[in-house]
Amino acid sequence: MTVVDTASGKVRGVREEHATVFRGIPYAAPPFGPRRFRAPQPPEPWQGVRDAADFGPTAPKHPYAPPLDALLPDPDVPGEDCLNLNVWTPSPGDGRLPVMVWIHGGSFCHGSNSVPVYDGTAFARDGVVLVSVNYRLGVEGFAVLPDAPANLGLLDQVAALEWVRDNIAAFGGDPDQVTVFGESAGGISVAALLAAPRAAGLFRRAVVQSGAPMAVPPGKARRTTRAIAGRIGVPATAEALRTVPVARTVEAQRQVLAGGNPITGGAGFHPVVDGDLLPRDPMAALADGAGADVDVLMGTTTEEYRLWFVPSGLTERVGPLMLRLAMLRKRVPRAAARLYRANRPGATPGEILGALATDLLLRIPQNRLADARPAGRTHLYEFAWPTDVRGLGACHALELGFVFDTLGSSAVQALTGPDAPRDLADAMHAAWVGFARTGDPGWSAWDPTRPVMTFGSGPDAAARLVHAPREAERKLWR
């Protein structure tokens, strides 16, 4: 047992293989009762030593719908003290080690820091202090209400980073060597934090996995909040929603969000341009120089869309007419469909639509951001290895087990299968560790040749540097 003194009190961790682990440390007070729909408040100090052996409560959320629930295990830990974090450290006395702070994904309404794929043991084994964070989800974290701050979930993330700044040295970490990284909604969060003036100085490096800078106007985001409040039968205000049990709010949220997904759209939660935490659209702010002093690593999987299209059967249901209508709605040039089809012989209309959507939502915005950033500060990657599970290919979230080097977990194998290439995990995990240490993941920084490290390409599933992949398709989106 190891005891560490934090600003709020002492915590007792447990020694496990390669790491001393502290779980469920509160970085803010429970966001319920009078604190519900308010900015995060400091945790109440405690006397004595707080046991930190077990994961803390998860934020209120509804489960993934089948079959995603089997592919993406999402533990639910009851309790109100959900604004907590976990720390894996080689040893609290090791010195000033690089720190990585993980922000989980899940469409801003799923996920937690207790998901098995996010185990930080491999990072600690390799000399990095790994911190994983919970934040408020769904209505509790991203509702747009006239009498409450917007972006509460992002404010939670800022509070967690402030906790890291103030406390991580006691766990062996260097507060001046912090890398914040996240995937999907976590990647969108990292991009938003890059653009947020309030987060400036809290991290030195950032990794954006399968996300892009984006935020929506309050009016658009308010529609989801109003639909959920209407389902409950109360006004869309914090005052009214505080009277509604959390479980009822979560169920109404599940009903309103059913059927949508990040690729095809529908009701959902997003960061909001609120004039406070996010004064401007994050992409515009970053293109104008926000976060220019932060090293950035970002990338996507090759077939992001397959996680939503394949299990739902959408790949087969999309016909030529539906493809044309979707292209009209998204204002996709006709030439794009012709080129994407020519480059993918035998692809169905659903696969063409998925490839177009992946580029429109993720790959093209990342390329544009890389072009706008200062020379030498940005690296890009693509994860191309295809899983055999359910025909999901190189789908969204597949790279996570490789980044965290957790391929041995049965929960991770639900998506990767049992025979995922060990060497590829070694290479990808080492790149993330190298980036956290030096800002260099091991390949050329972005320049006019457009270098992209492609993990899992070719029959040998190797990592190869590719210059300007699918350049003809990218140029269609200028």
How many residues does the structure list for the chain?
Answer: 478
Q: What is the DSSP letter of 151?
A: -
Q: Which residue from 27, 189, 186, 37 is spatially nearest to 111, judged by alpha carbons?
A: 186
The CA-based dihedral angle spanning residues 236, 242, 245, 248, taken in that order and rounded to the nearest 10 degrees: 10
Residue 184 annotated among the catalytic residues of the structure: yes
Cβ 375 vs Cβ 445: under 8 Å: yes
Tokens encoding 52: 């930190």
Tokens encoding 292: 């220019």
Q: How far apart are CA 204 and CA 249, in angstroms?
A: 37
User: What are the distances in angstroms from CA 200 to CA 27, 193, 262, 315, 416?
Assistant: 19, 8, 28, 42, 36
CA angle, 34 then 38 then 39, to 5°: 135
Point out the catalytic residue in the list 140, 183, 303, 304.
304
* Secondary structure of residue 474 in the 3-state scheme: helix
CA 98 to chain centre: 20
Q: How far apart are CA 44 and CA 373, in angstroms?
A: 41
Cβ 397 vs Cβ 184: under 8 Å: yes
Question: Would you tell me how many other CB atoms lie within 10 Å of the CB of residue 385?
Answer: 25
Say if strands 97-103 and 49-51 run parallel, antiparallel, or are unpaired.
unpaired
Beta-carbon contacts of 272 under 8 Å, excluding residues fewer than 6 positions away, are: 142, 144, 150, 151, 215, 216, 217, 218, 221, 278
Residue 304 annotated among the catalytic residues of the structure: yes
- CB crowding 80-94: b at 16 or more within 10 Å, else e: ebbbbbbbbbbebee
Handedness of CA 415, 418, 424, 430 (dihedral sign): positive
Q: How far apart are CA 106 and CA 46, in angstroms?
A: 32
Task: Please name the amino acid found at residue 68.
Answer: L
Task: Please name the amino acid found at residue 443.
Answer: W
Cβ 141 vs Cβ 39: under 8 Å: no
Q: How far apart are CA 326 and CA 38, in angstroms?
A: 39
Phi, psi torsion values for 452, nearest 5 degrees: -130, 120
Strands, E assignment, 143-221: 173-183, 205-209
Point out the catalytic residue in the list 110, 270, 379, 396.
396
Residue 270 annotated among the catalytic residues of the structure: no
Which are the catalytic amino acids? 184, 304, 396
